[in-house]
Amino acid sequence: MLNPLNHLKYIAFSGDKPIACIGWGSAAWAVQSREEFIGWTKAVKNRHLHFVANNTRYLILTWVTVKCLASKVMAMNIKRISDDWIKVYNYPLYMLETFVKQDRFKGTCYKASNWVRVGETKGTSKKGHKHLKHGKIKDVYLYPLDKNFKRLLRNDAA
């Protein structure tokens, strides 16, 4: 059921002015720290990965200087993402993931929004069937959308 083209995009406004953009897409295919955190075997991951969405883009426009805005907008978006995903793709989300470039960002808004850092990437990317080492390590953050997320993501009844 995983479709790599699944995505949702949001724009946050203050009055009639856009102030932030958030993009969500299908989960990354292979993330060791995520799989270990959930307790996934390869077979179970293959059946349940579509219940995870990746925060592919998050941008607060440069002219915006509102304190704590990033975590506030993220919290508002988190409250609606699974319902919107159901409306568009006909199944819920149980967890969100994101990747933060260690050399550029600290992940402050994710920490402030109660995301859990579970590890880091290996600094590789996939091109076709090959894994290319680029050395750009990213922190892996996860956000459960359901208190029973581990059971739901490991259970074939999900």
pLDDT score of 106 more than 70: yes
Whether the pTM exceeds 0.85: the reply is yes
pLDDT digits (tens, 9 = 90+) for 12-68: 999 999 999 999 999 999 999 999 999 999 999 999 999 999 999 999 999 988 888
What is the residue-averaged pLDDT of the chain?
91
Q: Confirm if 152 and 94 have CB atoms less than 8 A apart.
A: yes
pLDDT score of 156 more than 70: no
Residue span of the structural domain in which 121 resides:
7-154
Q: Strand 95-101 relative to strand 52-60: parallel, antiparallel, unpaired?
A: parallel
How many CB atoms are closer than 10 A to CB 107? 19
How far is it, in rounded angstroms, from Cα 48 to Cα 27? 10
Q: Strand 124-127 relative to strand 116-120: parallel, antiparallel, unpaired?
A: unpaired
Q: Give the count of domains, the chain.
A: 1
pLDDT score of 151 more than 70: yes
Q: Confirm if 102 and 61 have CB atoms less than 8 A apart.
A: no
* DSSP tag of 77: H
User: To the nearest whole percent, how much of the chain has pLDDT over 70?
Assistant: 97
Range from 74-83, 97-106, 107-116 carrying the lowest mean pLDDT = 97-106
Classify residue 17: in a domain, yes or no: yes
Classify residue 66: in a domain, yes or no: yes
Classify residue 2: in a domain, yes or no: no
CATH of the domain at 109: 3.40.630.30
Classify residue 71: in a domain, yes or no: yes
Classify residue 101: in a domain, yes or no: yes
Classify residue 81: in a domain, yes or no: yes
